[in-house]
Amino acid sequence: MNLHQIVILPVVLPLFCAAMMLLFWKAAAAHRIINLIGSMLSLLVSGMLLAGVRAHGILTLAIGGWPAPFGVVMVADLFSALMVVITAVVAFATALYSMGSMDPGREKYLYYPLLQFLLMGINGAFLTGDIFNLYVWFEVMLIASFVLLALGGERGQIEGAIKYVTLNLLSSAIFLAAAGMLYGIAGTLNMADLARMIPALGQKQLLTVVAVLFMIAFGVKAAVFPLFFWLPASYHTPPAAVSAVFAGLLTKVGVYALIRFFTTIFVHDTGFTHTLLLASALLTMLTGVLGAAAQNDFRKILSFHIISQIGYMILGLALFTPLAIAGAIFYILHHIIVKTNLFFVSGVVARMKGSYKLKEIGGVYAAHPLLGLLFLIPALSLAGIPPLSGFWAKFLVIKAGLDLGDYLAVGVALVVGLLTLFSMSKIWNEVFWKEDPRGEGGHAGPEYRPDNPAQKRLVLAPVVLLAAITVIIGLYAGPFFELARQAAAQLLDSSGYIHAVLGVR
């Protein structure tokens, strides 16, 4: 097989798995097995892709043999390949967690095929080199996420889904309009072709308008200030496995698109666009962390922390130095693992104690000290305590800010880190440390599931796996940083990207 054909595999594999599952219609046992095998194969395929990109540079595949910029082209540079690998890790963890926790009703009504379609959309968005194709992948991802969010039809889910669906459709309409306007100006939608043409185009003001439209469209998906309201309204409503995969991956697709567009394509007026991003990043960090401080629900606190952490990534992009972009990429990798894991832990606690509300639960540490440790690893990593992965992620972004002398950004980043620690210790105190208000072994609410050793192993295995990855990234940060640095260097040097896709400099 041609090396370049690996690029399409992370998209085709989930499609194939989903199609296989649909052949079995509602036989959930078959779905589980195919989902598990599929997610393992995804790990393999994404690993091959990353190895291929590291060995041979940027890989491209012109779909249907139509050469770029006339046809749709799939492109895997180091950043895309890293995102695909991390998606596969989350998909594998979620496959295990879902097998241990998903209720039979949802499994029967095509939960696993939807999960695979979601992964197909996410991988497609990471790998495409064409803006309209990116729009299509966003829609594939969105429609799968709509159904996953609403599947089960509980009242909270439906209410959350309305806000999620409405704001995401609005963002898609803006994205579509921006893509159309860009085609009107530049006459192409191929990202490499745009990167080549935009410096030579006139109409800088109009381009900036289009850039800001894209910023708003992706800003909604990435949940940056002031466009994040759909996230805390919806992410705590579906089952824990679904919120975990959403929390880990979906907003990061928006961040990926922002980084891709504002390093490769729209760098004609960084004074305006990146200052706007900087202001938005700082406000995102602050509103997210302050919003979390007000919440009293395990998953709502975590949801608001997604927003504040997105701020750090956008801050890395906005500072726009090689170190800052590398920091942002490192931050994304660290954050996806940690945030997915925290949602898994919240689900495990809810299974034991029957609720996500801090007031109704407690005493988890006394009963299950190991689970306490498994919570502390991602929680402290999120807050940026050394030697865990979050420390290096924050360190890189803050170091980039110090190098530029942007002390306001550095100050905000440090304060937000402190407030994150406050929120995590609040969860620790309420959920793990204080006595259970219902007494030893007590439980409240509909989330309770009786103890079942087989299920317990399946829900704890991914928590342990992701916690181990967090510790490894923390202790051996060097190789991961080196990957992020190379990915950032590729992003900032668009001539390599243009050459790989179009064959010209």
Binding-site ranges for other proteins (CB under 8 A):
132, 135-136, 139, 142-143, 146-147, 150, 153, 155-156, 158-163, 165-166, 169-170, 172-174, 176-177, 179-181, 183-184, 232-234, 236-237, 294-296
Euclidean distance between CA atoms 505 and 496, whole angstroms: 8
| Cβ(172)–Cβ(164) below 8 Å | no
Beta strands 73-76; 59-62: pairing state = antiparallel
Measured CA distances, 417 to 307, 361, 378, 398, 467 (Å): 13, 26, 14, 11, 20
Shortest spacing between CB 25 and other proteins, in angstroms = 21
Shortest spacing between CB 97 and other proteins, in angstroms = 23
Whose Cβ is closer to other proteins: residue 235's or residue 261's?
235
Whose Cβ is closer to other proteins: residue 158's or residue 418's?
158
| DSSP state, residue 66 | P
Whose Cβ is closer to other proteins: residue 69's or residue 462's?
69
Whose Cβ is closer to other proteins: residue 202's or residue 450's?
202
Shortest spacing between CB 309 and other proteins, in angstroms = 21
Shortest spacing between CB 174 and other proteins, in angstroms = 8
Whose Cβ is closer to other proteins: residue 43's or residue 136's?
136
Euclidean distance between CA atoms 315 and 275, whole angstroms: 10
| DSSP state, residue 261 | I
Shortest spacing between CB 64 and other proteins, in angstroms = 14
Euclidean distance between CA atoms 373 and 348, whole angstroms: 13
Cβ atoms within 10 Å, residue 465? 18
Whose Cβ is closer to other proteins: residue 184's or residue 437's?
184
Euclidean distance between CA atoms 333 and 337, whole angstroms: 7
Euclidean distance between CA atoms 264 and 490, whole angstroms: 9
Torsion sign (Cα): 280, 284, 285, 290 = positive
Q: What are phi and psi of 60, to 5 degrees?
A: -135, 150
Shortest spacing between CB 498 and other proteins, in angstroms = 21
| DSSP state, residue 160 | H
Whose Cβ is closer to other proteins: residue 162's or residue 367's?
162
Measured CA distances, 372 to 132, 152, 440, 448, 489 (Å): 46, 30, 16, 19, 39
Pick from 283, 164, 292: which is nearest to 229 by CA? 164
The amino acid at residue 112 is Y
Shortest spacing between CB 170 and other proteins, in angstroms = 7
Pick from 404, 107, 419: which is nearest to 289 by CA? 419
Shortest spacing between CB 189 and other proteins, in angstroms = 8
Shortest spacing between CB 301 and other proteins, in angstroms = 11
Pick from 393, 354, 98, 42: which is nearest to 245 by CA? 98
Whose Cβ is closer to other proteins: residue 178's or residue 325's?
178
Whose Cβ is closer to other proteins: residue 233's or residue 466's?
233
Shortest spacing between CB 114 and other proteins, in angstroms = 12
Whose Cβ is closer to other proteins: residue 177's or residue 475's?
177
What is the DSSP secondary-structure string of 418-437? HHHHHHHHHHIIIIIISPPT
Nearby residues of 477 by Cβ (< 8 Å), 6 or more positions away: 389, 392
Pick from 140, 208, 196: which is nearest to 168 by CA? 140
